[in-house]
């Protein structure tokens, strides 16, 4: 008898509990967010236990997560919404418990399939969890701590309670969450004032394009962090974007804040990757400053906790480790600095800084190999990546069509605050080649190549950005429209509130959206179930 | 697609509101649909299905993408008792590996273990005779590790500082001869995994030996 259905249902239920504490009750939200949120909370608590002078164990981490969620529910306004406990309890018994039950049954079914793939890399990622459990604290092994990191080991550690090595069904459940998250973001973003005739067709086509790719299913059964990072990057970009559009309350930023912690301890390159996501968030005028502060704070604290708190125990450094830590610290400092920039200057920076950063990464990806004598490495990496995208990487037709679609759509339509999506997407490519130089190892031809697996990090983000731009983007004026039209269009780009015209039209029809401070609607929010 | 406000095209009297956007959206739906269909064609479902029907076909394919076939084959045998033979020339030493339920199998299993513990380099890289001998020694350790997961982890921790989490065996790993090293082929049968020197495999007429 395995404990895994119970464990995964518990993680889902704990995530749902936190969502209920945040006032979220829609069914689709629990499908999309419960498992990623519960998992991120588990990893965040694990990070705390590793850093603090408390013996780490998977059981203790789960207990602390349960206590955190219980305390959140106890304090939430929803708990006392009607003077009784029935509000929150009812919400938990409803979609949360139903979804947790589905998770439990699904886990049994997935275990029966035996599709899960564990490679040598998976072993090494999982191994850190064993080291932490055995030592009760950080390990001294540089390879495990720096290259493999905490996420996979901590996420799968509960499986030991059932005397198993890993959670067989975790990755497949994350794929369900990933697809549900894409659908949820698109549906939540829909303004009630606009009828999106093609929304469903577009969603179905986009999800089908993702689900039919060979590598999507590989990641769905692969014990590693790629799919989880993909889900979290989507949430880190999309939820602040939705908060900026006033369709989600600022307190929902807790979900991407936890996601940031998970990503920081999930990938060695996470600090630089997260900086690409945080930069446009910091510069966006529509996102409330407390939300920005919370996200940057989560980033800085988790970077410091992991790199300065846990990894300090490493006694045998690899060549890349000091550089990684320096980059991590720099990312945290830059993020905090941007937070302090006055709003006027921030608006000016918004017009050039993202382009400068992405362009700088591109120049760096070319200059660093030249400066360090790694030109051959860069050439091999580019050739291998091209071969992988052309077919050897088994991504199917996605590499052929998705980038072209993104470029074409971006030339015709402009999404308000779209920088939250395009900056990480554009910056990811040169960053990946910089990583090849940093690790002194070229990418190789084959589906198991590192970069070929890392495309999963940005796939969900790319697809969601495409769909959102198609549904909510403003038409850019074409040359045929004449100069007057373009001048007028530019004038419409920002409003007196600094919001997109699209938002203003929505706000004109929705009084609650006009308020600067988000308040919960008196009735059930118009969101899909 | 739109109520007309968002996508109004100005400057042309005959321009319909949101016309360009509608065109782009429809084009995107069409392209995404074509992508999905093309993906299905490229998924190689047929090949994977054939591998499932004939595991030995999967064994001899030097193809790293055998996700469905091999994971299914692995899963089917989890909990079974395997005998691992590292067959080098006339030697036929063996060691029984007990694989508890829930333990993972992988097409990189033995080599993954080798890479993790005896540092063979890249899992597609060479396996020289000395390493192969060491792998043989490790096979005994694998057996010992596999008896008690917790005990193994703690014992490994005492000896190496890093606990061994897994014991696993493998199917169908082809180690290419990248120069100087011995090329080994792995064969799987009902309850046995053979790691066979390629020269011997060729003399025995085993499938894949000539590839």
Contacts A–B by Cβ distance under 8 A: 212
Q: Given this model, what pLDDT does residue A381 score? A: 93
Q: Given this model, what pLDDT does residue B153 score? A: 40
For residue A164, the distance in angstroms to the closest alpha carbon of chain B comes to 6
The CA distance from B3 to A344, in Å, is 34
Q: Cβ contacts (< 8 Å) between B26 and chain A: which residues?
A: 198
Would you call A480 and B106 a contact, using CB atoms and an 8 Å cutoff? no
pLDDT grade for B131, boundaries at 50, 70 and 90: very low
Best mutation target, B2, B5, B6, B63, to test chain A (most A CBs within 10 A): B6
State both tokens at A86.
């029935």
Average pLDDT over residues B123-133: 39
Listed by number, the residues of chain B in 53-92 with a beta carbon closer than 8 Å to a beta carbon of chain A are: 64-65, 67-68, 71-72, 74-76, 78
Closest residue of B to A121, CA-based?
B112
Q: Given this model, what pLDDT does residue A14 score? A: 95
Closest residue of A to B111, CA-based?
A120
pLDDT grade for B1, boundaries at 50, 70 and 90: very low
The CA distance from B175 to B161, in Å, is 29
Q: Given this model, what pLDDT does residue B16 score? A: 59
The CA distance from A276 to A233, in Å, is 11
Q: Give pLDDT tens digits along chain A (529 positions).
A: 688 999 999 999 999 999 988 888 778 999 999 999 999 999 999 999 988 888 888 899 999 999 999 998 887 765 555 444 455 566 666 888 899 999 999 999 888 765 666 665 676 677 677 667 766 666 665 666 777 788 998 999 888 787 676 788 999 999 999 999 999 999 999 866 555 678 899 999 999 999 988 888 888 888 889 999 999 999 999 999 999 999 999 999 999 999 999 999 998 888 888 989 998 998 888 899 899 989 988 988 888 888 777 776 665 555 455 556 656 666 666 666 666 677 677 777 888 888 999 999 999 999 999 998 889 999 999 999 999 998 888 888 999 999 999 999 999 999 988 999 999 999 999 999 998 888 777 888 877 788 999 999 999 999 999 999 999 988 887 665 555 555 554 444 443 333 444 444 444 444 444 444 444 444 444 444 3
B154 vs A118, A120, A134: nearest CB = A134
Q: pLDDT tens digit string along B166-186?
A: 223 232 232 223 233 344 444
Judge whether residue B99 has pLDDT over 50.
no
The DSSP element (H or E) to which A342 belongs, if any, is none
Contacts of residue A368, Cβ cutoff 8 Å, sequence gap at least 6: A374, A434, A437
Q: Cβ contacts (< 8 Å) between B106 and chain A: which residues?
A: 117-120, 122
Judge whether residue B69 has pLDDT over 80.
no
Give the ipTM: 0.85
Judge whether residue B146 has pLDDT over 50.
no
B6 vs A218, A404, A502: nearest CB = A502
pLDDT grade for B190, boundaries at 50, 70 and 90: very low
| B39 part of contact set with chain A, CB < 8 Å | yes
Best mutation target, A2, A58, A119, A186, to test chain B (most B CBs within 10 A): A119
For residue B117, the distance in angstroms to the closest alpha carbon of chain A comes to 11
Closest alpha carbon to A429 in A455, A410, A450, A462: A455
Average pLDDT, chain B: 43
Q: Given this model, what pLDDT does residue B82 score? A: 33
State both tokens at B182.
């011995």
Best mutation target, A205, A489, A495, to test chain B (most B CBs within 10 A): A205
The CA distance from B155 to B145, in Å, is 9
Would you call B10 and A165 a contact, using CB atoms and an 8 Å cutoff? no
Contacts of residue B159, Cβ cutoff 8 Å, sequence gap at least 6: none
Q: pLDDT tens digit string along B13-42?
A: 445 557 788 889 999 999 999 999 988 877
For residue A447, the distance in angstroms to the closest alpha carbon of chain B comes to 7
Residues in chain A: 529
Contacts of residue A485, Cβ cutoff 8 Å, sequence gap at least 6: A477, B9, B10, B11
CA atoms within 13 A on the CB side of A119: 18
Would you call A130 and B163 a contact, using CB atoms and an 8 Å cutoff? yes
Contacts of residue A365, Cβ cutoff 8 Å, sequence gap at least 6: A378, A430, A431, A433, A434, A437
The CA distance from A283 to A285, in Å, is 6
pLDDT grade for B62, boundaries at 50, 70 and 90: very low
DSSP A143-173: IIIIII-SHHHHHHGGGGGGT-SS-TTHHHH
Query: What's the sign of the alpha-carbon dihedral A495, A499, A502, A507?
Result: negative
Range picked from A214-223, B87-96, B116-125, B190-199 for highest mean pLDDT: A214-223
The CA distance from A40 to B41, in Å, is 36
Q: In this predicted model, which residue has the larger pLDDT, A379 or B192?
A: A379
Best mutation target, A158, A179, A212, A387, to test chain B (most B CBs within 10 A): A212
- Find the DSSP H helices in A413-482: 419-439, 450-472
Tell me phi and psi for residue A68, to 5 degrees. Answer: -60, -45
Q: Cβ contacts (< 8 Å) between A141 and chain B: which residues?
A: 161-162
Whole-number Cα distances in Å, B23 to A392, A478, B29: 33, 14, 10
Query: What's the sign of the alpha-carbon dihedral A7, A12, A18, A20?
Result: negative
Residues in chain B: 211
To the question of pTM greater than 0.90 for the whole model, the response is: no
Q: Given this model, what pLDDT does residue A328 score? A: 65
């Amino acid at each position: 008898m395995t404990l895994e259905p119970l464990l995964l249902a518990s993680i889902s239920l704990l995530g749902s509990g936190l969502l209920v504490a945040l006032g979220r009750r829609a069914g689709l939200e629990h499908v999309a967010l419960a498992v990623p949120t519960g998992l991120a909370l588990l990893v965040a608590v694990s990070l705390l236990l590793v850093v603090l002078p408390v013996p780490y164990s998977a059981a203790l981490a789960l207990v602390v997560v349960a206590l955190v969620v219980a305390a959140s529910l106890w304090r939430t306004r929803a708990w006392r919404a009607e003077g009784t406990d029935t509000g929150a309890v009812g919400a938990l018994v409803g979609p949360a418990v139903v979804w947790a039950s589905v998770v439990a049954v699904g886990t049994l079914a997935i275990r029966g399939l035996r599709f899960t793939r564990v490679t040598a890399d998976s072993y090494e990622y999982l191994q850190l969890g064993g080291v932490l459990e055995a030592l009760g604290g950080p390990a001294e092994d540089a390879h495990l701590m720096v290259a493999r990191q905490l996420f996979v080991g901590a996420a799968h550690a509960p499986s030991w309670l059932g005397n198993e090595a890993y959670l067989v069904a975790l990755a497949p459940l994350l794929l369900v969450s990933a697809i549900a998250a894409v659908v949820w973001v698109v549906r939540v973003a829909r303004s009630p004032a606009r009828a999106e005739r093609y929304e469903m067709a577009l969603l179905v086509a986009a999800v089908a394009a993702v689900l039919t790719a060979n590598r999507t299913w590989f990641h769905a059964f692969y014990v590693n962090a790629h799919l989880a990072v993909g889900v979290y990057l989507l949430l880190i970009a999309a939820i602040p974007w939705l908060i900026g559009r006033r369709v989600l309350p600022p307190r929902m930023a807790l979900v991407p804040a936890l996601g940031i912690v998970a990503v920081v301890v999930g990938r060695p390159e996470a600090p630089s990757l997260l900086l690409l996501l945080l930069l446009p968030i910091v510069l966006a005028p529509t996102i409330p400053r407390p939300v920005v502060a919370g996200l940057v704070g989560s980033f800085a604290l988790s970077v410091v906790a992991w790199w300065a708190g846990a990894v300090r125990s490493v006694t045998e450094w690899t060549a890349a480790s000091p550089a990684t830590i320096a980059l991590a610290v720099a990312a945290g400092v830059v993020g905090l600095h941007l937070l302090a920039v006055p709003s006027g200057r921030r608006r000016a920076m918004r017009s050039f800084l993202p382009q400068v950063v992405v362009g700088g990464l591109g120049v760096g990806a070319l200059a660093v190999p030249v400066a360090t004598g790694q030109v051959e490495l860069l050439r091999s990496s580019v050739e291998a990546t091209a071969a992988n995208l052309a077919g050897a990487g088994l991504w199917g037709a996605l590499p052929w069509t998705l980038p072209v679609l993104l470029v074409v759509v971006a030339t015709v339509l402009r999404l308000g605050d779209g920088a939250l999506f395009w900056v990480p997407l554009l910056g990811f490519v040169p960053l990946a080649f910089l990583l090849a130089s940093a690790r002194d190892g070229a990418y190789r031809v084959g589906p198991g190549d590192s970069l070929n697996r890392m495309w999963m990090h940005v796939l969900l983000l790319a697809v969601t950005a495409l769909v959102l731009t198609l549904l909510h983007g403003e038409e850019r004026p074409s040359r045929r429209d004449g100069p007057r039209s373009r001048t007028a269009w530019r004038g419409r780009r920002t409003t007196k509130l600094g919001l997109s015209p699209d938002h203003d039209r929505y706000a004109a029809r929705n009084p609650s959206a006009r308020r600067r401070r988000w308040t919960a609607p008196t009735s059930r929010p118009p969101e899909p179930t | 697609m739109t109520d007309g406000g968002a996508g109004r095209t100005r400057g042309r009297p005959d321009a319909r509101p949101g016309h360009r956007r509608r065109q782009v959206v429809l084009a995107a739906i069409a392209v995404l649909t074509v992508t999905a269909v093309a993906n299905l064609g490229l998924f190689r479902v047929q090949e994977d299905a054939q591998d499932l029907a004939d595991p030995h076909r999967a064994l001899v394919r030097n193809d790293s993408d055998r996700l469905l076939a091999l994971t299914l084959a692995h899963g089917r045998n989890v909990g079974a008792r395997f005998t691992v033979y590292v067959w080098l020339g006339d030697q036929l030493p063996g060691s029984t590996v007990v694989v508890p339920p829930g333990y993972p199998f992988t097409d990189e299993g033995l080599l993954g273990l080798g890479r993790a513990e005896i540092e063979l380099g890249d899992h597609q890289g060479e396996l020289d005779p000395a390493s192969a001998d060491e792998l043989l020694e490790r096979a005994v350790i694998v057996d010992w590790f596999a008896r008690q997961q917790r005990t193994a982890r703690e014992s490994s921790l005492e000896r190496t500082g890093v606990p061994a989490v897994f014991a696993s065996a493998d199917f169908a790993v082809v180690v290419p001869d990248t120069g100087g090293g011995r090329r080994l082929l792995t064969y799987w049968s009902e309850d046995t995994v053979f790691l066979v020197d390629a020269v011997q495999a060729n003399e025995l007429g085993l499938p894949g030996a000539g590839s």
